[in-house]
Homo-oligomer: A and B are copies of this chain.
Amino acid sequence: MSKEFDLVALGELLLRLSPPGQERLANGGSFDKHVGGAELNVLTGAALCGLRTGIISKLPDNDIGMFVKNRVRFSGVSDDFLVYDRENDARVGLYYYENGAYPKKPRVVYDRRYSSFNKIALSEYHESLYKNVRCFHTSGITLALGQQTRETAIEMIKRFKENGTLISFDVNFRANLWTGDEARRTIESILPYVDIFFCSESTAKLTFKKTGKLEKMMRSFTEDYPIKVVAATQRVVHSPKVHDFGSVIYNAKDDRIYFEEPYRNIEVIDRIGSGDAYCSGVLYGLLSDPENIQRAVEYGNAASSVKNTVPGDLPTSDLAELDGIIADHKANGETFEMSR
């Protein structure tokens, strides 16, 4: 029997304030207003590919919360699972971000503490939520934010799992939120429930103390836990404006790794959210054609690469655009300049 939602995620919704163009945070007279959040970014990319998605989060019941809610809807994601914080200290977490240009790096200032999302509780959701979802996704950020979000996330993972929902988890390690040790201990406690595991090579080494070649490290996760798929992105940052992007997926079932030629010399406009866009492409691939791992790699790489070319945190490419990019990538440059 089909479920109402293909993909639902638990995560914080952030307001991002960025100076226009290459202006700096400490100068200038305006901020562009973006909405993002690791899990929302994943959902948005998947929704553009046609999946039915919804975000589980908590927002203040004020004008800024409404702006964020409106943007969630604008991006094609359902707001059915948003709950609202009516307390006096309700707030939207935010971060300030400025672009880089070699030799200046991008800069981030976080101001997300005490946000309403930190109060999200299991009791705010009805049991029926867990029955209607094909895949549940969350990330290490949600685990790291605080005790309340961590407990909610872990409990939700368990309940979704009980209802036959696939569990997707992206480590997304952030050194400013927790230590590697705390991350490892916490994540290891949920890995028994995880089906699809996103973990970069460096995180595998530094946080999970894995050694050896990438394929070996990826396989070892599936040996230790009932993980089906491990995906690792491979980004090369030539400069803030020029990246390469590729990835490797290990599939436990056939004990194989899948990959393709990376996208090279991506013309980066805004790299924020490109890792999440990768997850969105992989999850779209796996949910729409579970046996075709190679196709999932290709959607992941295309979704991530193209996210870099668009301002804001959220993916904006629909399935047709991804298909075009993949076709061009395979055609290796022998393609038309634009369609007209």
Binding site for B on A (CB under 8 A): 17, 20-33, 62-64, 66-67, 70-71, 73-76, 88-89, 91-92, 96, 98, 100-111, 113-114, 174-176, 235, 237, 239-241, 263, 265-271, 302, 305-306, 308-312, 316-318, 321, 324-325, 328-329, 337-340
- Find A63's partner among B32, B98, B305, B338 (CB 8 Å cutoff): B98
A-B residue pairs, 9 tightest by C-beta: A25-B63, A101-B309, A101-B267, A74-B74, A73-B73, A26-B66, A104-B309, A26-B67, A106-B338
User: Known contacts A103-B266, A113-B114, A328-B103; is A33 also within 8 Å of B26 by CB?
Assistant: no
| Bound CA–CA A20/B271 (angstroms) | 18
Q: Give 11 CB contacts A-B under 8 Å.
A: A22-B269, A25-B67, A26-B64, A88-B176, A101-B309, A103-B266, A103-B325, A104-B317, A105-B337, A235-B337, A240-B337
Contact of A340 among B89, B110, B267 (CB under 8 A): B110
User: Which chain B residues border A20 with CB–CB below 8 Å?
Assistant: 30
CB distance B338 to A107 under 8 Å? yes
Judge whether B101 and A67 touch: CB under 8 Å: no
Contact: B27 with A30, CB < 8 Å? no
